[in-house]
Amino acid sequence: MTELLTAAQMRSLETAAIESGEVTGLELMERAGRGVVEAVFEEWPAYRNAPQSVAILCGPGNNGGDGFVVARLLYGKGWQVGVFLCGDPEKLPPDAKTNYELWVADGPVAELSEKALRAMPYTLYIDALFGTGLTRPLEGAAKDVISHMAGRNGDDFSDALICIDAPSGLCTDSGRIVGSDSSGFANDINRFAKLTVAFDSPKAGHFIGHGPGLCGKLVVKDIGLQNWRCFQPSKNAKPGSRPFVLRDGKAVGILRPQMLELIGPDRLVDDIRYRYQPGWPWDSLGKAGWGNHKYSHGHALILSGGAGKTGAARLAARGALRIGAGVVTLGVPPVAQMEVAGQITALMLRRIEDASALTAVLADKRITALCLGPGMGIDQRGEALVKAALEARGFHPPYEGRSVVLDADALTLISQDEALFGMLHERCILTPHAGEFARLFPDIAAKLTAPAVSGPAYSKVDATREAAKRAGCVVLFKGPDTVIAAPSGACRISSAHYARAAPWLATAGSGDVLAGFITGLLARGFAPMQAAETAAWLHVDCALAFGPGLIAEDLPETLPAVLRALEV
């Protein structure tokens, strides 16, 4: 897993390192600048021995300071360097000022303006205007220049632009653009830089919202802060300035480092003791986890819609079976029984006409997980089924209770009925896409869509956490940046961006398969948060393994190969 830091956490980490006396801010800035130069040569190896020209746009804070370091280092390698500053050099913070003065010994600094920048073309452009310290919308020359770089005048810089820490104007906590008019990025919000170089850790904003589209490729450079990323009070630490405990250093089981863990704003790690437990439950998908008979692998019940609407539940059921539930039963209304019977083989079938029939079926305590919603309908029958499902809290050792996945129509039903919403419990998982999320949590969704007037802005992470807390259960908020949160605040991002980009996963029915994957893992005894994050991860893995041309049916069929490759 990779921890994603907020700007506040990053500053804390830096403060802890500096207060220890073992490193100075100036050294950190030098390492950051060196990291950018390294990343440039990794991206363009031919330039290592063939100096080019570069324009470096420096802002009024330490992001600008990094820019001056890059200017000095590239100049030292024979590059032709143009430096443009936005702001008063006298007001630069101390380390940035020192690097400004070091640069001035080598070359001139022009005042930043679109006109000055357009006076000559450069091979590369470096955006060192704003990073984690962005507090308000871009304005003046900074806004003009960024909108020019974003293509306002029809020029395309996206193959030549490198951002230090973040595209300027992007909030690194939320991936949102600060400003009511998308600031400089109004032209094409998904195309800006070739490369973004972050330090120590990625920030959440690199993975959610507009972040991935604007960053291009993301490279994270180590600047030697790892000693302050474990619980080790620094020698000179003042009360209240203890470094965060940021990781246990271990990637466990199938998620490996790519699954992104997020630590909440201003939380000490003591608050997030939630950790994967080595050996459990990942091993339960592999050889070690198989019991004596199918019921020891869990029994999932998936409710189907009526005639002509059974496809969604069949997809979910297939997903639940493939991911390892021992038994999967489709509960169908009598009108759809023949339709379903003709389509399924390994799945079991039960007639479930109404809520009382469901209650009777759920008397079977071996049913360890339930899924409602795909194709179910939003009529009175559906509503009664959701109520019956939420009332029947089975208990079957070693499980703590029966888990319930509420997807699609079930989400619409609970959004329309406060009493149903109030029945949600800690073994439920809600899996809304953006539209369903807005129906369920309109006030929270409004905060997310309202213009971000200042930084750090309200994010999809904040929204999912707030929703999970209100619902009292795990919420998996779908999208290319799927965010999963528990009421405790534990939060993960399963990102389908950068190397994991799989836009073809947005295909009809893929959400139904995801609901089935989650249900299957719950049936096997995964805790809700673990089931949701593992399923989301495997869902993207299946899409990547299959590639373009994928339709929802392919996802469950690709899963065995994905599991085999993971050596589960």
Ligand X SMILES: Nc1ncnc2c1ncn2[C@@H]1O[C@H](COP(=O)(O)OP(=O)(O)O)[C@@H](O)[C@H]1O
Q: Is 165 in the site for ligand NPW (CB under 6 A)?
A: yes
Do 268 and 241 contact (CB within 8 A), yes or no? no
| Span interacting with ligand NPW, options 137-145, 184-192, 360-368, 389-397, rule CB under 6 A | 137-145
How far is residue 189's CA from residue 55's CA, in Å, rounded to a whole number? 23
Among ligand NPW, ligand X, K ion, none, partner that 168 touches (CB below 5 to 8 angstroms by kind): K ion
Interior angle at CA 554, CA 553 and CA 555, nearest 5: 95
Looking at the Cβ atoms of 15 and 359, the one nearer to ligand NPW is 15
168 binds K ion (CB under 5 A): yes
Segments of 200-279 assigned E as strands:
217-221, 260-262
Could you tell me the smallest distance in angstroms from the CB atom of residue 4 to ligand X?
18
Shortest Cβ distance from residue 181 to ligand NPW (Å)? 13
Query: What is the side-by-side order of every strand in the sheet holding 53-58?
Result: 109-111, 80-85, 53-58, 124-128, 161-164, 195-199, 217-221
Residues 496-535, one symbol each (x = binds ligand X by CB under 6 A, - = not), give x-----xx-xx-xxxxx-x---------------------
Q: Are 213 and 239 in contact (CB under 8 A)?
A: no
Backbone phi, then psi, for 66, in 5-degree steps? -60, -40
The mark string for 175-204 relative to ligand NPW (x by CB under 6 A, - otherwise) is: ------------------------x-----
Of the candidates 382, 334, 394, the one whose C-alpha atom is nearest the C-alpha of residue 355 is 382
The tokens describing 29, both together, are: 């800035």
- Nearer Cβ to ligand NPW (223/523): 223
**Shortest Cβ 432–ligand X spacing (Å):** 8
**Which entry of ligand NPW, K ion, ligand X, none binds 478, CB below 5 to 8 A by partner kind?**
ligand X
What's the CA gap between 68 and 29, in Å, rounded?
A: 10
Which residue among 127, 481, 533, 541 contacts K ion (CB under 5 A)? 127
95/512 with CB nearer ligand X: 512
127 is in the binding site of which of ligand X, ligand NPW, K ion, none (Cβ under 5 to 8 A by kind)? K ion
Q: What's the one-letter identity of residue 338? A: M
Please report how close the Cβ of residue 231 comes to ligand NPW at its closest, in angstroms: 19
Evaluated on CA atoms 400, 317, 313, 553, the torsion sign reads positive
Q: Which is nearer to ligand X, 389 or 502 (CB)?
A: 502
Q: Is 29 in the site for ligand NPW (CB under 6 A)?
A: yes
**Are the C-beta atoms of 388 and 412 separated by less than 8 Å?**
no
Residue 30 to residue 65: CA distance in whole angstroms:
9
Among the listed residues 60, 209, 253, 489, the single contact to ligand NPW using CB under 6 A: 60
**258 touches ligand X by CB under 6 A:** no
**Alpha helices (H) along 441-547:** 442-449, 460-471, 510-523, 528-546
Does 547 bind ligand X (CB under 6 A)? Our answer is no
Q: Is 132 annotated as a binding residue?
A: yes
Provide the minimum distance between the beta carbon of 315 and ligand X in the complex, in angstroms, as a whole number. 8
Q: Does 25 bind ligand X (CB under 6 A)?
A: no
Q: Is 135 known as a binding-site position?
A: yes
479 lies in the site for ligand X, by CB under 6 A:
yes
State the binding partner of 467 from ligand NPW, ligand X, K ion, none, CB within 5 to 8 A by kind: none
Packing angle, helices 442-449 and 460-471, rounded to 10: 170
* Partner whose footprint covers residue 503, from K ion, ligand NPW, ligand X, none (CB < 5 to 8 Å by kind): ligand X
Measured between alpha carbons, how far is 210 from 208 in angstroms, rounded to an integer? Answer: 6
479 has binding-site annotation: yes
Question: Which amino acid is present at 459?
Answer: S
Could you tell me which stretch among 24-32, 209-217, 362-370, 417-425 binds ligand NPW (CB under 6 A)? 24-32
Q: Where are the beta strands (DSSP E) in 360-410?
A: 367-372, 403-406
DSSP track, 137-189? ---HHHHHHHHHHTTTTS---TTTEEEESS-TTB-TTT--BSSTT-GGG-S-T
* CA end-to-end distance (rounded Å), the chain: 17
User: Which parts of 161-280 fold into alpha helices (H)?
Assistant: 211-215
Q: Is 480 in the site for ligand X (CB under 6 A)?
A: yes
Using CB under 6 A, pick the residue from 134, 195, 413, 562 that binds ligand NPW.
Answer: 134
Site map for K ion, 80-119, x if CB under 5 A?
----------------------------------------
DSSP secondary structure string for all residues of 77-112: TT-EEEEEE-S-GGGS-HHHHHHHHHHHTTS-EEEP
Closer residue to ligand X (CB): 480 or 489? 480
Report the alpha-carbon distance of residue 13 to residue 25 in Å, rounded. 12
Dist. CA 362–CA 388, nearest whole Å: 9
In angstroms, give the least distance from the CB of 65 to ligand NPW.
6
Residues 116 and 145 sit within 8 Å (Cβ to Cβ): no
Q: Please indicate if the annotation marks 329 as binding a ligand.
A: no
> Can you tell me the distance from the alpha carbon of 462 to that of 530, in angstroms, rounded to the nearest whole number?
20
Stretch binding K ion (CB under 5 A), from 162-170, 338-346, 390-398, 457-465: 162-170
Shortest distance, CB of residue 411 to ligand NPW, whole angstroms?
Answer: 38
Q: Which two tokens stand for residue 225?
A: 């802060």
Residue 130 engages ligand NPW in binding (rule: CB under 6 A) = yes
Residue whose CB is less far from ligand X, 394 or 480 = 480
**Rounded Cα distance, 111 and 251, in Å:** 47
Which residue's CB is nearer to ligand NPW, number 245 or number 384?
245
Where is the binding site for K(+), in residues? 63, 127, 168
Where is the binding site for (6S)-NADPHX, in residues? 62-66, 131-137, 165, 312, 375, 433, 512
Residues that bind K ion (CB under 5 A): 127, 131, 163-164, 168
Where is the binding site for AMP, in residues? 478-482, 511
Residues that bind ligand NPW (CB under 6 A): 10-11, 14, 28-29, 32, 59-66, 93, 130-138, 142, 164-165, 199, 223
